[in-house]
Chains A and B, each alone.
Chain A
Amino acid sequence: MERKSFLSSLFIHACALLLAAVVLAPLVWLFVMSISPAADLTEKPLRWWPQAIDFSRYGVLLSRVENSAGAAFLASLVNSIVVAGMATIAALTLAIPAAWAVSRTPAIGWSLSMVIATYMLPPVALAVPLYFGLSHLGLLNNVFGLALVYLTILAPFTTWLMKSGFDAIPREIEAAAMMDGAGLFATLRIITLPLAAPVVATSALFAFLLAWDEFFYALLFTSDLRAKTLTVAIADLAGGRVSDYGLIATAGVLAALPPVAIGLVMQRALISGLTSGGVKG
């Protein structure tokens, strides 16, 4: 469409704005809640914009005084970063060779389907066996134990995602590298991985988000600050007799920042189209 009428372009812009509003409204409301005085949040009818802007809750959550809400929050923030980070790195380390192997050897594709099938089971079905397993290994209430559990979720998912990425890289490029004398490891390192960078970055981002947002296993397998993650810590804030909705919202805003930061860093790698020019087309 080279020429668009004024009306149709107005319509398209209106739709885009509406979509943006729908996506952004909860986030904006979360932020507004985090800076509203407690009274404003329980008032009827609801006050959409606070009378006074109150950043004090950020101070509360980021305070490092011992045994305060802030210390608990920061400890869980660190736990979340450690658990999600470890699980993501371990998942990628396993998934890159696995996905490459499955992509280049169609005969063993069934094995990936079987792993994906286990992924379909509801988490609750695995909760009890996992609990006994972790308890046996002495890994309950431990960041390593939780990362291990997350790995079982992330590895199949990232393998599956990256397989489709490797599938898109022409096999002839690897055959050419092989004839040029590159070994398996050199081919993967110099040729295949750089071409697969966008899908590796996407997998890493999704894996991290999946681990970051996980609540069920974290609730079951952690009990105190040594391993408790953010999702559980936020739930704890809501679990008392008096809930400060503003405080929950503040925790939500802070919890959203690390994934956003990672997403921004990864954005460059997420730009695809790096494979163009290698083969015809």
Chain B
Amino acid sequence: MSALEIENIRKTYGAIETLKGIDISLDSGEFLVLLGSSGCGKSTLLNIIAGLAEASGGDVRIAGRSVLGVHPKDRDIAMVFQSYALYPNLSVRRNIGFGLEMRKVPVVEREKAVLETATLLQIENLLDRKPGQLSGGQRQRVAIGRALVRKPQVFLFDEPLSNLDAKLRMEMRTELKRLHQMLGTTIVYVTHDQIEAMTLATRIAVMRNGRIEQLGTPEDVYDHPATLYVAGFVGSPPMNVLNGVVTGEGLRLDGSGQVVALPARFKAVTVGQRVKIGVRPEALRLAGDGAEQKSLDVEIEVVELTGPELVVTGRASGQRVTACLPPRTKLAVGATQAFAFDEDVLHLFDAETELALG
């Protein structure tokens, strides 16, 4: 039985449709990340699951039971808010135990559960403080603890790490992953950060304009993006996208007319079809002396050393191309350099529909 089923969920505000029919089915223990830029409807969807917003149509089932019209407290869910939403006037101990207190769990049992959760999150020494006396990372742990202590069916996270600084965010990310592996809980997690999505998720739903663009494992979303939007959203630096057209000899880039060989697996394309050619920056390498079939001539403009890699920006037939190379690579700015790539890393999208081809 699925832990969470979302069936054709729609949400309209007046004439504006923010969710246009969302279908997701989540097994117990899955970590689903709703990924998208702001305004794509991911937070609205989370609020509908939580019961903080009403769906205009469709159904949400938690453990097989429809929860539409069910009060949030009776949905067997817990939520971690972006702003933490701790109770500032209560101690950490009461913050974590509040859900149990409201559910009339006996004091002894409640104390035990709070202490267990606090130990798990390594905040057992902060139990008597008020939220105002905690750092951002500690507050985040308290907010997570408040959700964990109730052992609900589904956990909801609304951009929980976006208020932390970069270093702390990485730490908490690992921490969340560790908790998920240890406890095997079912999680729905909203973020706009594709690295969080890639690292945490067992499945990612990339959302755009109230629709799911692609639902799949992180590897799937990264290696086989279903649309041009997904290709550009996941990955940093983003995938290079070059405009071109299918000809008899291969793919001819707009601009200078450089031709790239067309891999054999794209059987569905027709000569004369306008396409967008996608290659990830990390899939490019300097072309060796040997005769490599798939290569791209790039006029190098900027070379940036980030430490672990060298980010090279240049133009191929007037179109911008970025490549991530090993840090010791020697390159001359202004020179034209051939970049090679394997044929299975080439992505093709229809220029009209922006859907993946082949």
Residues of A within 8 Å of B133, CB to CB, are 277
Q: B81 at interface (Cβ–Cβ under 8 A)?
A: yes
| Interface residue from B72, B88, B103 paired with A178 (Cβ < 8 Å) | B72
Give CA–CA (A279, B50) in the complex, Å. 19
Nearest to A278 among chain B residues (CB) is B88
CA distance A177 to B85 in the complex (A): 9
Give min CB distance, B86 to chain A, whole Å: 5
A180 within 8 A of B: yes
Is B78 within 8 A of A179, CB to CB?
A: yes
Docked-complex contact B79 and A274, CB < 8 angstroms: no
Would you call A24 an interface residue if the criterion is a C-beta within 8 Å of the partner chain's C-beta atoms?
Answer: no
Shortest distance in angstroms between A272's beta carbon and chain B's nearest beta carbon?
12
Tell me, yes or no, whether A280 is within 8 Å of chain B by CB.
Answer: yes
Give chain A nearest CB distance to B323 CB in angstroms: 38
**How far apart are the CA atoms of A173 and B131 in the complex, in Å?**
13
Within B281-321, the residues touching A (CB, 8 Å) are: none
Contact of B87 among A179, A191, A276 (CB under 8 A): A191
Minimum C-beta distance from B155 to chain A (A)? 11
Nearest A residue to B74 via CB reads: A181
* Closest Cβ neighbor of A194 among chain B residues: B89
B77 touches A179 (CB 8 A): yes
Is the CB–CB distance between B72 and A179 below 8 Å? Answer: yes
Residues of A within 8 A of B (CB): 170, 172-173, 175-182, 186, 190-191, 194-195, 274-280
- How many residue-residue contacts, CB under 8 A, span A and B? 85
Partner among A178, A179, A181, A279 whose Cβ is within 8 Å of the Cβ of B86: A279
In the bound complex, do residue B86 and residue A278 qualify as a contact, i.e. CB atoms below 8 Å apart?
yes
B-side contacts of A181, CB under 8 Å? 73, 99, 102-103
Are A276 and B132 neighbours in the complex by a CB distance under 8 Å? Answer: yes
Residues of the A chain whose Cβ atoms lie less than 8 Å from the Cβ of B52: 175
CA distance A173 to B90 in the complex (A): 12
**Contact assessment for B81 and A180 in the assembled complex, using a CB-CB cutoff below 8 Å:** no
Q: Least Cβ distance of A178 to chain B in Å?
A: 6
Given contacts A179-B50, A179-B78, A181-B73, contact A186 B86 (CB under 8 A): no
Q: Which residues of chain A come closer than 8 Å to B132, judged between CB atoms?
A: 276-278
B335 on the A face (CB < 8 A): no
* B98 lies within 8 A of chain A by Cβ: yes
Q: Is A274 touching B85 in the complex (CB atoms < 8 A)?
A: no
Tell me the minimal C-beta distance from B15 to chain A in angstroms. Answer: 18
Per-position binary interface string of chain B over residues 105-133, scored 1 when its CB falls under 8 Å from any chain A CB and 0 otherwise: 00000000000000000000000001111
